[in-house]
Structure 1
Amino acid sequence: MSQFDFGAIDPNSKSGPQLALDLNKFRDALNSGHRGSARPAYAQAGMQWVRETSSTQWDLCLFDGDTDFVIRSVNPTTNTLLQIPSSQISGIGTSAAATLTISNTDEIAGRVIKVGDGGLRGTGVTRNSAALLDVVRGSEFFFNDQLTGANNPFSGYGSGIHVSYPAAGLFWDIFAGVQGTSTRAFLRTSRSASVINSPVELYHTGNISAFMQTLMPAADAAAAKVTLGVVDGIGVNKTIQDVTATRALATTHTNSTGRPILVWVSATQTSSAAPGAFNATVSGSLLRGTSTYGSGQGFSISFVVPNGATYSVAFSGTSYDTLNWKEYR
C-alpha cells in the first residue's frame, strides 16, 4: 500500500534531496490510488482512494468530506468484480436478496420469477391436472399438454391465462389452442373455489354462427330483438299451419306471434245464382278478395297481418263449401 502527502512545501527550508524524496512518495501514493486499510488523513472532499478491506477485497471509494461511498469492489486475488451490496443501491429494496423460483410451479411468496417459470418465456407452466388448474392462485401464464375433460375443453396443445381473486376464491381462465384443423378459444370462470363453470366456446374456426349463439343464447337474443324493435321477416323460422278448426268467419282475431304472419283462406262456390267472395279486414282496413261464379268454382283471399294487428274474414255470396284457413306463422 502507499499513502503519502508532502503537505505545504516551505522553499526556504525544504532541501532538494528531501523534496525529491517527498515527490517520489507522493507519486507512489497517486499511482496506487492512495491504497490503504483506512482513509488517508489528508483526504479531501471529492478524493477517490482504494480501501484494502481484506486480502480478497479492495473497495474503490469516493470521499465526500464526511462519508466514503463504495463505487465498486474487486477481488485482487482472482481479478474479478464483486457484487455490489444491495445496501449501496438506492430503491432496490429486498429484491437483491430474494431467492429465485426453483421450478415452474414454485409458488412460495417473495421469490423472484426467473425466465421459464410462471410462463415468462420458455415453455411456461404446465397445467395438466385438476390439482394444478382448478385452484385459486396468482395470475400466470400456463401451458396444457393434450389435457381433456373439464380442465381443458379441447384435445391438443394449447395455452392460457389464469387470473385469480384469492380473497373471494374466484378465478377465470382463457384457453386457446388447436383441435384438428380448427383454432378454438374458450373462457372458463368460477363462482367460488368449489363451483367451477363449464368452459364456454368463444371462437371456433369456420363456426361463427355457433360463436354468436354462445355469446347470446336464444332467450337473450329474443329479448334483445324486442328491445331493439327487430322482428323476423315472413318465412323466417315459420311453418304453414292449418288453423281451420280454431278460426271462424266474421270473427276478429289478433296476431300475437311477435312477428308478421301470412293468412290464406279459400272455399268452393256451391251455387251459380250469385258470385262468392271473401273480404278481409286488417286493423280496420278492408281488403277485397277474388270472386267466382258457378257451382264448384274455388275462390280465396290472402293477406299479411303485422304483429299485434287484428284481422277477420267475411263471406259475400249465397253459399260456400270446404272452408280452408291456413296461416304462415
Structure 2
Amino acid sequence: MTQYQNVTIDPTVTNGSQLASNINSWREATLSLHSGVARPAYATAGTMWISTASTPWKLYVFDGVNDAPLGEIDPAGHAFVSAGGTDFTNDLMTAADSAAARDKLGAQKKIGYEPVDKAGDTATGTIESRMALGDPETGVRSIGNRVVLEGRGDVDGDNYRGWLEVEEEVGVGARMKIVLIGDDGRKEFLFDQSGRLETPGPLVLPAAPTADLHAATKKYVDDAEAAAVETGLGVGQTWQEMKDERTPGTVYQNTGDKPIMVYIFGSSTGYAYASVSSDGVTYEAIGGGLSSENGKRAYFIVPVGHYYRAGAVNSWLELR
C-alpha cells in the first residue's frame, strides 16, 4: 500500500532524517493517487484515491462522508471505464484514436467532398453528413447567417445531395430552405416566417384532395369545372318537340344526367297548366294565368330525378 503514514511533522522534535522519510512517504502516496485496499485515514473532502482491493481497481473521490466512484481501471488491459457510463460511452472511451471513435459511433469523416466509407453500411455506396456555414455546393454565404445540415450519398450507383438551411436575413427574419440535387439538377424549396412556400416549379399534389383544407392541383380543379359544365343545362342538348310522346296529366321523370327545360303552349281556348315535384308525391303548380295570352305559355326547369306533368297543349318542347 502506498499511502502516507499519517505523521505530524513537528519542527521542534522532527530531525532531518525523520523529515526526509515523511516527505518520501507523502511523495509515494501522491504519485500513486493514495492507492490502497481502503480509503486513507487522512483523507479529507476532495481527496481522490484508488482502491486496489480487487481488480479492476476502483477510482474514488471522498466527499467528506462517503466515497463517490469515478470509474474503474484495468491494470492489465490498461483501460479506464467511467462509473455510470453506458456500454456505448464506455466503448467510445476505449477508442485508440479519432478514427476508431468515429467507427464506433458509426460516423464518417468529411475530407473536402470525398467520403470515407464505414464498413457494414447496408446501402451500396456511401452516405455522409456534416454541418457547415454557407452553400455546400458553391461555398458562398449569400444571406446573412446560415447554418447547413447536409447529406450526400452515392447509393446504388446514383449520386444524390441534399441539405437543410436555416437562414436569417436582416429585415426579413428566419427562413428555411431545402435543397435537393439529383439527376435533374438543383431544386430549392423555401419557407419563410409567414408560412409562404416558394418552389422551383409546379408543386406536385395528390391526385384528389380528401378533406376540406387539402390543396388541389390545377388539373383536379379544371376537371371538376369541366365536369360541372358538361352536366349543365344546354350543354350538348337540343330543343325537341315532345307533344306526340306526352299524354296530358301523365307524370314523367327526368331520368337523364342533366337538367332539362320544358316549354308548353296552351290550346286556343285553354291555358298552359303544369306542375312539378321532387319526390313524385307533392306537386307545385306552375303556368296558367288570367290573361289568355300570358296564360297560354309556361317555361320550367326539371332537375335530374324530378317529376313533371302538364295538361292539354298545342306544343310541348323540351331542351334535352
Q: TM-score, normalised by structure 1?
A: 0.38
TM superposition score normalised by structure 2? 0.39
